[in-house]
Structure 1
Amino acid sequence: MSWPDRCGELNTIVCITIVIFLLIALITYHPQDPAWSSTQSSISIYNLEGRLGAYCSDALLTLLGITSFLIPYFIALKAYYRIKNRSFKYVEMQWLGMACAMMSLSALISLFDQQWTVYPEGAGGWLGRMISWWMLSALNPFGATLMLSALFVISLSLILQSGLQPWILRVLTYMKSMFAHPIQYIQSFNHNNLTTPKQKIKQKISPQKTQHTTINTPQTASTDARPYIKPSTRLLALKKLQKKSSYNDGVLKDLAQNVEEKLKAYQVKAVVEATHPGPVITQLELRLESGIKASKVTALSNDLARLLSVQRVRVVEIIPGKSTVGLELPNPNREMVYLREILESETYQSAPSALTLALGKNIAGEPVVADLAKMPHLLVAGTTGSGKSVGLNTMILSLLYKASPDEVKLILIDPKMLELSVYQDIPHLLTPVVTDVQEATGVLKWCVQEMERRYKLIALLGVRNLASYNEKIDEMAARGEPLMHPNSDENNPETFEKLPQIVVIADEFADMMMVLGKSVEQLIARIAQKARAAGIHLILATQRPSVDVITGLIKANVPTRIAFQVSSRIDSRTILDQQGAEQLLGSGDMLYLPVGASTPTRVHGAFISDDEVHRVVKAIKTKTQHQYDDVLQQVVEQGESSGVGSTHDHQDPLYAEAVKIVAQTRRASISSIQRRLRIGYNRAATLIEKMEADGLIGPMTTASAPREVLMPQPEKNETCDS
């Protein structure tokens, strides 16, 4: 073999190797892999060709989109011509045709597909998007499509050695024969395609195998065979260039001196030892003179805010690990904290838990994340407009970015029917968003039943919690020995299946407490007491931080709390058992009190807009289908008729007790029944109306006059029976 022939053979082998490498890299592309266009630091690489394949596929798909698959085809075409010993006279024209074909095709794809989110820059890539944008600025969509299609056809004529004429003649000849003898053509088509020789039909009977069924865990099923692809952080807003705080070293020194003078005017001698500027506030550490109480500085917070011309001043009497007092002053220019910053941070990326919540940044500007599994339940409270709803959205999106539907399932309760309805039909939901208060009671009852069922399964495996349960199932599956249920039938054995964690999020549980009363409180307390080991967690949010909503029973079982801005110290004590939330700045500023901590941490909540939420939810819906739990669906549908304390129930179990109270107190008022029985207004009003219908009390004459009690007053040892 001559040297030129050997070089040609080596060139062909290299071309084939490049084709195979590019095809595998492009086919196994994954958005979560480290790449040029991503700042994510993923530990695992999904591309079959490793880091190099991930970077190559990202670069090509970012530039050209789907059209990148033409590059291996063109290289393979070149190798084919070399194997057939064919030469092309105008090589430059062929390469020009390939370039024009890829550009025109990518622009055409970008014209017709604006919502593709799998690839970094859409289906047509960055180049196609720019070309289509330029074409649309000069032409309308039809004209742009016509021009790009013509350019693509011209490019094909440059690429193919024989040109397009043979292909056009073939199509015209075929169409001519079809229209010349249409009847013969249809008959030949039916004869050739619809008849099958009998000798080709063979039936293969395979031996019957023993079937293994799984324990009914519908929440782990999925109708979509495709794996869950986490949404890209590119759907979220980038951090914008913001005006930095004017707190430089000189300004901080003057500020410290000014604070010392203002305190000295109130007979408080203190020295500013350190300053910590952050994105929203600046913390000053005060060293108080011996004999001065920290509570004296706390009492001067409003006066200091007035003298320093700031919105609010918060005093931190105890800084863990230090003997100084903290003084937190708002910055003149507040920086916005974006959720994308937190999700792309190393703190969030390296968190191993599937229930990692991105909260925001601390006073030093460092990302703050929390593990819901360790909490294990969370109470969120704050006034209207304090950032509570945005905080809930950031928590939900944190779960969607961190966990697949097989790992975490959500139950969303939204009595206001506004905040959480955007998440309808995402694959993580066990049931559609619950908006009726009566249905919410049925959902909580189902959670209690599911908790008991899970405890039985966990006990059968001899483990202590859901994490150990799933680990044992994975361990036995890796050995090829699936765990069989001991109580299953021998002919139809059942195997244990992995169970996802369940997060129940109630946006405004105050409505549930007011309408359904003590029954909901007992259900919430029961779930909070026992559901941790079963993998069921609660996130309760309310904008009414009062003692009749956040009761002592709920606070005792939900130790982790987040307080947004509130209107008074009393509300702050109701949430955190200490004051401080009334001094927050609003707009996502919060106090985070983790379990086991006595001092809350100030966190500036991450911001996310409604448009970003819609983009992420739409991307998730297009990639993965949802499937609801059938049993839970039935519970929700029957919730109104079977709910606890339904206002439509004419045989209320508390009716006899209500009659007894009215007979003894000789006072028939809704407020009295509501207070004595600890029920909602609607239910108490129904009981009073039923007493009037039964002739036990008289009608209401005026708004101020009490109703007449017609029933006799019982004796001391007599019980009143309705």
Structure 2
Amino acid sequence: MKDRLRFYQVENKKHEIWALCILTITLMVFFSLISFHSSDPTFFNASSMGRSPRNWIGSLGAHISWSLFFFFGLAAYGFTFLGFWFSLCLFRGAPPLPYGRIQYVGIFLLFLSFMSLAALHEPKIHFFGQEILTGGEIGLLLAQFLAARLNFVGTHILLVGVFLIALLLSTPLTIESSLDWICRQISLCGKGAFSGAIQFFQKIRNLRPEPPELVPVAASRPRRVKKPSSPMVEALPAPESVQQPPAVPIPEAKKITRNAAPIKPPPAASGQYALPPLDLLDAYEATSRKPDMKKLEDNAAILQEKLADFGVQGKVMEICPGPVITMYEYAPAPGIKISRIVGLSDDLSMALKAVSIRVVAPIPGKAAIGIEIPNEHRELVSIRTVIESEAFSGSTAPLTIALGKDITGQPVVANLAKMPHLLIAGATGTGKSVCINAVLSSLLFRNTPDDMRLLLIDPKRIELSSYEGIPQLVHPVVTEPKMATRALRWAVQEMELRYKLLADKNVRNIEGYNRALAREETTSTNTAPTPLEESGLQHHRLPYIVIIIDELADLMMVASREVEESITRLAQMARACGIHLILATQRPSVDVLTGIIKANIPTRISFQVSSRIDSRTIIDGSGAESLLGSGDMLFLPPGTAKLQRIHGAFISDAEVQHLTEFWRVQQLADDPLRERVNFQEISSSEGIQEEELDEKYEEAIELVLETRQASISMLQRRLRVGYNRAARMIEMMEQQGIVGASDGVKPREVLGRGAS
């Protein structure tokens, strides 16, 4: 390692020495050229005056400047430019010409064509008071040779063509990019001149004096009211309060059209519910600004120039402005790797002075790359605008949820039944809780308790407490982690019960089951009871059940095995019977989002995270670390790997309170579903039934009672089972009261079967 470091230091020192040598020679040549005097003595021009040369570099400078100007003319200054460029590249540790010998050929042709063109137009020129050959002797001879054979026009065409080809060979410029830049500058100048002319003529029109005949005429009173603009503003002071564009992109003043009338009294015992009106939501005034096209075009130009600085040639094909970000569709030149552009996102952020830039490489269905840049003024996306949209109101799916707007400003909704489960993750304060409130609110706006029920699990105790007491809840909001495991076991039991009901009616899903019951009610045919009905189970209309867990990490810390087993069973089987999961977590680590959970929940939403590792854990790819926060999300729809960027719908705590108050007054005194939900009875009985499936459990009990020893190692040896299986048997015996609790290093006490 030290030898390698010493080698790099030696190589770096060599580059610096060569750079200083080239820079010294270049400076001497440059100062000799700018101080050239034709009367200085040289090899070919002996001075009759016996005085020292006037050249700043002395006699050597006089010889060098005379030789360069004689052979190359004004192109002599090109050698100094090349010298400065070579020394700068060596100082930076990079080769001056990294693309091979073709650039040397281009530089040679560039010098030759320039000297010939200069000599063709003006053979001699007075430069700094001295007469020199414009193209040098070489350029003059070549120009005369070509002009004798091609004439003046043909020589011009040939030399200009060679000059352009040499320019393309020796520089990274392209004709297309150069023409684009020229056209863009011309259009910008044209727009500026056009707008300046309009302002000039408007000022002239405003300064135009009024005709003197119109002032004394009394009949022209209506015309007189129309003429001045100031009396109209004075007569109507109201627009001063309405005129709020100076306020900002996110409106602080909001127009709330809610009143007390829509909150209806409790309904009758018939079970009829009233859906909430949209007046419960705040109506925000439109504050969206039209995009500044000049600013967008300037950003596109900066984007192209910055990428060109890194050797990435291409063109911005289209600009798509949105409420929060603007996407620039960039088409790279052939041969440019996409990974090079993705790796330059931080450099582009610095050049455009943006918070963060996300690169979509490539855009699905297009031969272009999407570069998403945040807008200066961010538009607020309210949930009311999404719910009022045709996408939400026109949907017939009962579990339609409002997510927000896409990058073009179009409302985005999704059907939870098609997902069929949803995973939400993101760092603290990025909009995760607001998204859950928006999902819950959109469900409550479409579904009565007869259509949908909620099971809310909130270990943090404060996020979902606003929904306490609404009739859609099958159980009060669960806040204890141990009670949450029982709630998930109840959901598994409910799923198994529903599948029995579906199988009894010979249907495949909950929609077919409810339709079958509706047909039977309309036909009113008396059929013989099925074996399931004879066992005591009665058919009834099944509502959807949406289970929302606000912080999955807390549950996994308390009882990871039980929670993972229940979630896995529900995610694998609960779709057809109408039970859907929404899991949220702020810690997207692999011990929380295990592989089994991720495999069974393909639909995911990721808010801003702190690293690419967290982004890959959630959505199996990078990009979430470049989001803006405050509701900015990446949505992974079911059945596709295409990520969709969405700006989440905002709903305030006051709006949630208005909505839940509307539903609380419709709470029925008796709720059959709530009466049969008792999580307290699930813990022991459910655990025992699962563990009694072990075929060696009875043998283990007899062994413990016989030996009066209750240890895991003893069961492992005598029954030839693994550690986990033996530990479950001991836990099972403790729950049934056969053995006592563990007391440190002391052995467990054997109580016997009758002890429980």
Same fold (TM over 0.5): yes
Number of residue equivalences? 451
1:183-198 alignment, distance < 5 Å: none
* Secondary structure of the corresponding residue to residue 608 of structure 1: coil
Structure 2 residue corresponding to 1:275, chosen from 319, 335, 345: 319
Q: Quick one: percent identity of the two aligned structures?
A: 45
1:251 positional shift: 2.2
2:698 corresponds in structure 1 to none
Structure 2 residue corresponding to 1:694, chosen from 746, 749, 756: 746
Structure 1 residues 637 and 263: CA distance shift in structure 2, 3 A: same
1:187-586 alignment, distance < 5 Å: 224-225=269-270, 227-242=272-287, 244=289, 247-481=291-525, 485-487=529-531, 496-586=539-629
Instruction: Encode CA deviations 1:394-438: one digit per residue, 9 max, x unaligned.
Output: 000010001111111110000000010110111111111011111
1:603 corresponds in structure 2 to 646
1:643 positional shift: 8.8
Instruction: Encode CA deviations 1:535-588: one digit per residue, 9 max, x unaligned.
Output: 110000001100000010000000000001100000000000001000000000
How far apart are the structure 1 equivalents of 2:536 and 2:557?
A: 47
1:636 positional shift: 2.3
Q: Which amino acid aligns with 1:442?
A: R
Instruction: Encode CA deviations 1:335-363: one digit per residue, 9 max, x unaligned.
Output: 00000001111110111111001000000
1:640-719 alignment, distance < 5 Å: 690=742, 692-694=744-746
Q: Which amino acid aligns with 1:637?
A: Q
Gaps of 5+ in 2: 1-257, 689-703, 705-709, 717-723, 729-740, 749-756
Query: Does the Cα contact within 8 Å between 1:473 and 1:497 map onto a contact in 2?
Result: yes
Structure 1 residues 308 and 660: CA distance shift in structure 2, 3 A: farther
How far apart are the structure 1 equivalents of 2:645 and 2:714?
A: 50
1:160-175 alignment, distance < 5 Å: none
Instruction: Encode CA deviations 1:424-458: one digit per residue, 9 max, x unaligned.
Output: 11111111101111111111111111111111111
Query: Does the Cα contact within 8 Å between 1:226 and 1:624 map onto a contact in 2?
Result: no
How far apart are the structure 1 equivalents of 2:677 and 2:537?
A: 25
1:116 corresponds in structure 2 to 260
Please tell me whether Structure 1 or Structure 2 has the larger radius of gyration of its CA atoms: 2
Instruction: Encode CA deviations 1:8-66: one digit per residue, 9 max, x unaligned.
Output: xxxxxxxxxxxxxxxxxxxxxxxxxxxxxxxxxxxxxxxxxxxxxxxxxxxxxxxxxxx
* Secondary structure of the corresponding residue to residue 276 of structure 1: strand
1:692 positional shift: 3.4
Query: Does the Cα contact within 8 Å between 2:381 and 2:405 map onto a contact in 1?
Result: yes
Higher mean C-alpha displacement, 283-292 vs 549-558: 283-292
Query: Does the Cα contact within 8 Å between 1:263 and 1:269 map onto a contact in 2?
Result: yes
Query: Does the Cα contact within 8 Å between 1:484 and 1:494 map onto a contact in 2?
Result: no
How far apart are the structure 2 equivalents of 1:423 and 1:515?
A: 25
How far apart are the structure 2 equivalents of 1:658 and 1:299?
A: 56
Q: Which amino acid aligns with 1:549?
A: V
1:626 positional shift: 6.6
1:50 corresponds in structure 2 to none
How far apart are the structure 1 equivalents of 2:369 and 2:352?
A: 18
Query: Does the Cα contact within 8 Å between 2:399 and 2:415 map onto a contact in 1?
Result: yes
RMSD between aligned residues: 3.2
1:284 positional shift: 0.6
Structure 1 residues 512 and 495: CA distance shift in structure 2, 3 A: closer
Instruction: Encode CA deviations 1:654-698: one digit per residue, 9 max, x unaligned.
Output: x9569999xxxxxxxxxxx9xx99xxxxxxxxxxx95734289xx
Structure 1 residues 534 and 515: CA distance shift in structure 2, 3 A: same
Query: Does the Cα contact within 8 Å between 1:427 and 1:626 map onto a contact in 2?
Result: no
Q: Which amino acid aligns with 2:553?
A: A
Structure 1 residues 349 and 336: CA distance shift in structure 2, 3 A: same
* Secondary structure of the corresponding residue to residue 241 of structure 1: coil
Q: Which amino acid aligns with 2:458?
A: D
How far apart are the structure 1 equivalents of 2:310 and 2:675?
A: 62
How far apart are the structure 2 equivalents of 1:234 and 1:351?
A: 20
1:242 positional shift: 2.0
How far apart are the structure 1 equivalents of 2:454 and 2:384?
A: 22
1:5 corresponds in structure 2 to none
Query: Does the Cα contact within 8 Å between 1:503 and 1:536 map onto a contact in 2?
Result: yes
* Secondary structure of the corresponding residue to residue 557 of structure 2: helix
How far apart are the structure 2 equivalents of 1:483 and 1:559?
A: 42
1:599 positional shift: 1.6
Query: Does the Cα contact within 8 Å between 1:440 and 1:639 map onto a contact in 2?
Result: no
How far apart are the structure 2 equivalents of 1:658 and 1:572?
A: 43
Identify which of structures 1 and 2 has the higher relative contact order when contacts are C-alpha pairs closer than 8 Å and 6+ apart. 1
Instruction: Encode CA deviations 1:591-611: one digit per residue, 9 max, x unaligned.
Output: 000111112100000001101
Instruction: Encode CA deviations 1:263-318: one digit per residue, 9 max, x unaligned.
Output: 11111112100010000000111101112122221111112111110111000113
Q: Which amino acid aligns with 2:600?
A: N
Query: Does the Cα contact within 8 Å between 1:279 and 1:334 map onto a contact in 2?
Result: yes
Structure 1 residues 489 and 571: CA distance shift in structure 2, 3 A: closer
Instruction: Encode CA deviations 1:441-486: one digit per residue, 9 max, x unaligned.
Output: 1111111111111111111111111111111211222223376641
Give the TM-score taking structure 1 as reference length.
Answer: 0.58
* Secondary structure of the corresponding residue to residue 305 of structure 1: helix
